[in-house]
Each structure stands twice: as C-alpha cells, then as structure tokens.
Amino acid sequence: MTERDAYIQKMEAEQREATARFREIEAQADLADSEDTLDVLTGARAFNDDVDRELQALRRADARDWERLKNGADTARRRFHEHLDRAGTHFEALREGYRRQREAELNALGAQMDRWVASRQRTRAEDSLLTREELDFITRGLKNAGALLENLRHARGHVWKTARDQYEANWRELVERSRRIRADAALEEPGASPP
C-alpha cells in the first residue's frame, strides 16, 4: 500500500467516525429550540458533504494535484470537526437544560406529594383524601421518574430519545393521576361544587 493509499484510508476512517458522531447529534434534532439550532445541523451536514467531496477528489487526483487536494481535504475535515464540536456542545447544553427543567417539575411534584402525605398523616386513614393505593402509585411513579431522569443524564443520540420518551410517558401518567386526585379532593371538600 502506498503512502497515498494509507492517507486516504485514514481520512475515510476518520470521516466515518465523524459522520457517526454527527448522526448521534442529529438524532436529537427534536430538541432544537430555534432556527439557529437547526442551522447548526444544516451547517454540519454541509461540512460533512465538503469532506466527502474532497475525499472523492483525492481518490481521483494525479501526482501534480495531490498536495493541493490533500490540503483541501485536511481543511474540510478540520472545519467539519470544529463544527461538530460546537454542535455537540450546543446539544449537550440543550439536553442539560431539558433535564434540569424535568428535574424541577419532578421536585415540585415531590413537594406536592410530601404535602399529601402530611395531610394524610393528620387525619385518620378512612377520612384521608388519598387512598393507600394512590399514595403507593404516586410514590412509585416519582421514584421511576427520578430513575428515568438519571438515565437522561448519561444517554446520548438515539438512546437519549428513547430515555426521554420513557420519561415523558411516566411524567404524563404522574401528572394525570395527580390531577385526578386534586379534582377528587376538591369535590369532597365541604360545599365544593364540581369544577
């Protein structure tokens, strides 16, 4: 194998790795919170295409053009990696913001649960607005949501999307159950009229 063939193979391997990294970032495109974020992905895709074009040109290059095309391929690869680094940092911040927001929601529901438990402890079990089963469900749901939120902290790419979908489904079920409990409690208060 010539030095030229070895260089092209190395560049192609690096490009496959960078493309896989881009696809991992792209898998989280639904986190995009603005046109600027979508532009980051579009820009990365364009830089990826530039590197592919430069590699194709290198494969076809004759000896006279080799150094010029090699420099062009190196520049395109460097620009793509720099853009991927920026995109990765941006999406890491978006994932972290999403996780912090969900954590705040979970903490708020946990505080509400603590109030329900305190209320339940103040009254006799048969007079409580919450049944033991409801308390157990909400407690399990909060623990599950906490575990799923922790999974979000470590997940990337498609795994992150799956973890987020699981968290969202668990969260919706918790919120719906707590909404029904609050509605039932309001109906049971003396003199309360239906909402």
3-state SS assignment for residue 43: helix
- Per-residue pLDDT tens digits for 126-147: 455 567 777 788 888 889 888 9
Mean pLDDT of 170-181: 85
Range with top average pLDDT, 38-47, 83-92, 178-187: 83-92
CA 30 to chain centre: 9
Do 145 and 99 touch, CB atoms closer than 8 A? no
- Per-residue pLDDT tens digits for 40-79: 777 778 888 888 888 888 788 777 777 888 888 888 888 8
Instruction: List, as own/partner pairs, every contact residues 166-173 make where C-beta atoms lie below 8 angstroms and the sequence separation is at least 24, other chains included.
Output: 167/102, 170/141, 170/144, 170/145, 171/102, 171/105, 171/106, 171/145, 173/141
Question: Confidence class of residue 194 from pLDDT cuts 50, 70 and 90?
Answer: very low
Please tell me the predicted confidence (pLDDT) of residue 69. 82
The residue type of 192 is: A
Rounded CA separation 154/123 (Å) = 42
Question: Confidence class of residue 195 from pLDDT cuts 50, 70 and 90?
Answer: very low
Q: In this structure, what token pair is assigned to residue 59?
A: 């494969």
Q: Which residues contact 18 (CB under 8 A, 6 or more apart)?
A: 48, 51, 77, 80, 81, 84
pTM above 0.75, yes or no: no
